[in-house]
Amino acid sequence: MHVSKRTVLVIALVLGVAFTFGTLFTRAAQDASEGQRVANLAFSPALEKVGEGFTLPLFLTHAGDGSGRIFVVEKGGTIALLEDGRRGAVFLDIQDRLRASGYEQGLLGLAFHPNYAQNGYFYVNYTNRQGHTVVERYSVSADNPKRADPSSAKRIMLIEQPYANHNGGMIAFGPDGFLYIGMGDGGSANDPLGAGQNKQMLLGKILRVDVDNGDPYAIPAGNPYADGREGLAEIWSIGWRNPWRFSFDRLTGDKYIADVGQNRIEEVHIERRGAPGGLNYGWNIMEGSQCFAPRSGCNQNGLQLPIAEYDHSKGISITGGYVYRGSAFPRMQGIYFFADFGSTRMWALRETSANRWEQTEIMSARFPVSSFGEDEAGELYLVDFGGGTIHRLIDQE
């Protein structure tokens, strides 16, 4: 099994080992990026700490219920509120249901139903005690909006995992109202199962299901293999290695997906709103824009190429972000932000003309960015996995 620097770093964090590798990566990124602002960068990015006290946080989101509350997902199996600059009330505790050992297991994803204010439903993605992916629905407590009802669990999906890594974990509702589920290729290295290109496996895919119909879900009519003949009905797109965070642009509905590379390239893809299902994003035929299997001369016909990428001289594990659509910092409007977990480098990506993209390294976060997050107003946050802090991305001029 390939053991990357990212693996070593996360194991160190999980086990409480000294932050040696993180320090080395951070210093490297700082040295590389300090004073290297690109002249045409139209804003001055900075990070403002807004929260602390969390344990191995992996995600941040909002409920969309008008409350303005921010929910932080912790790897060990809890969801806590960010209150008064600190870890506040525990909204959900399901530590007894999951396995958070290793370096890519635990409570990995959270998505509130678009009608949460009316129905109180939200969904989580975690690895259970056997190490398999579980997507479950929960309900908020009937008498306390700061607490969920742990007894309300309804299983939506169970997907067996052959290895402990590459579990994906992102879940999000799209503008079409359907739930999208990101699945890694099952783990180990180099996709030994051939999952990325196998339409008869849910691994290595992004799935799309209708949780408002059926029991526990229905298959949307627009899914590419909805009849189950050419591929599994839940599949929306194929060719993913380990999509670590995807998001929908709240203005355009376009979906941005970051896919963690093997040994060479980290990549970002865009899927335009209205694009058909069944698109193939390349793994393991390709890693980024380069052939992977075979190493040269691969057949790229029909494959979707990334809109941004970087090699492992810049970082080792991409963390996907969001397009900024807040109102506090107009100069950041329409820019997609992403980072690298290992090197702590951050980038801004913008479309300068139709399908032409400008990628700019903007700063070092100076901590391992496990996730970005978006609040109800569209402001963006970065999650510090090692230090348990939350930071807001700002324009300081």
The confidence score (pLDDT) of residue 397 equals 79
The tens digit of pLDDT for each residue in 3-54 reads 344 444 443 433 333 333 333 333 333 443 443 444 467 899 999 999 999 9
The percentage of the chain sitting over the pLDDT mark of 90, rounded to a whole number, equals: 88
| pLDDT band, very low/low/confident/very high, at 377 (cuts 50, 70, 90) | very high
The confidence score (pLDDT) of residue 40 equals 63
Average pLDDT along the chain: 91
- Each domain of the chain, given as residue ranges in start order, spans 5-395
Would you state the CATH architecture of domain 5-395? Answer: 6 Propeller (2.120)
Cis upstream peptide for 284 (omega within 30°): yes
The pLDDT of residue 313 is above 70: yes
The confidence score (pLDDT) of residue 102 equals 80
Instruction: Among 19-23, 159-163, 293-297, 375-379, name the one with the lowest average pLDDT.
Output: 19-23
The confidence score (pLDDT) of residue 379 equals 98
| More confident position, 287 or 17 | 287
Tell me the backbone φ, ψ of residue 323, rounded to 5 degrees.
-85, 130
Q: pTM (2 decimals)?
A: 0.92
The percentage of the chain sitting over the pLDDT mark of 70, rounded to a whole number, equals: 90
Averaged over 365-383, what is the pLDDT?
98
The confidence score (pLDDT) of residue 8 equals 41
The confidence score (pLDDT) of residue 103 equals 78
Instruction: HSE, CB side, 13 Å, CA atoms: give it for residue 263.
Output: 11
